[in-house]
Amino acid sequence: MWLIHDYKKEKKNPSLIETYHEKGLSDQDITIFRQTMQDAKAQIKSWETAVKHDSELQIIENVTGGLKSAKKLFQLIVKHPKMALTNHDFLYKQLPTMVELTETYDNVKSVDRIDQDLKIESQKVIRKLSEKIAKTYELELSDDIEKIKDEVENG
């Protein structure tokens, strides 16, 4: 619910559209940006649903914080649309891949006589990608901190 409520509120906010214009986005850019963010929202929701329904995925999330980081990165990008350019891997590769991985994992574990190694290998890949997404968010925050630090020291 966190994503739907906040994003829809911003989506209908004319001042947000005006802010996007002020940040140099054209109407066409805003349309593409909003579609990209709608896709990302759906992918994060799918990932969240998979985590909620599987204890092993919950453990991975508790260890890596990938889903939580994805939500926070999403919110940053909504507020600062130019960040979509620097986070294109997150939006166009990592999120779609995570959805595909969690769907494949769900299929693998639903087969009774599946090789346990395949299930474990799927978990490892999901964990690795989750860690990568958390690192992406961490790097974005560290960039912001460095910018602020430079402004304070030089400004």
Condensed to tens digits (0 to 9), the pLDDT of residues 127-145 reads: 999 999 999 999 988 877 7
pLDDT tens across 50-101, in order?
A: 999 999 999 999 999 999 999 999 999 998 898 999 999 999 999 999 999 9
55 class by beta-carbon count within 10 Å (0-12 exposed, 13-18 middle, 19+ buried): exposed
Confidence of residue 5 (pLDDT cuts 50, 70, 90): very low
Q: What is the pTM of this model?
A: 0.82
Confidence of residue 151 (pLDDT cuts 50, 70, 90): confident
Is residue 23's pLDDT more than 50?
A: yes
Average pLDDT in the 107-124 region? 83
Confidence of residue 3 (pLDDT cuts 50, 70, 90): very low
Which residue reads 């166009």 in tokens?
92
pLDDT for 155:
65
Confidence of residue 22 (pLDDT cuts 50, 70, 90): confident
Is residue 9's pLDDT more than 50?
A: no
pLDDT for 148:
76
Residue 96: HSE in the Cβ half-sphere, 13 Å Cα cutoff: 9
Residue of 1, 4, 147 lying closest to 80 (CA atoms)? 147
Q: How far apart are CA 25 and CA 81, in angstroms?
A: 8
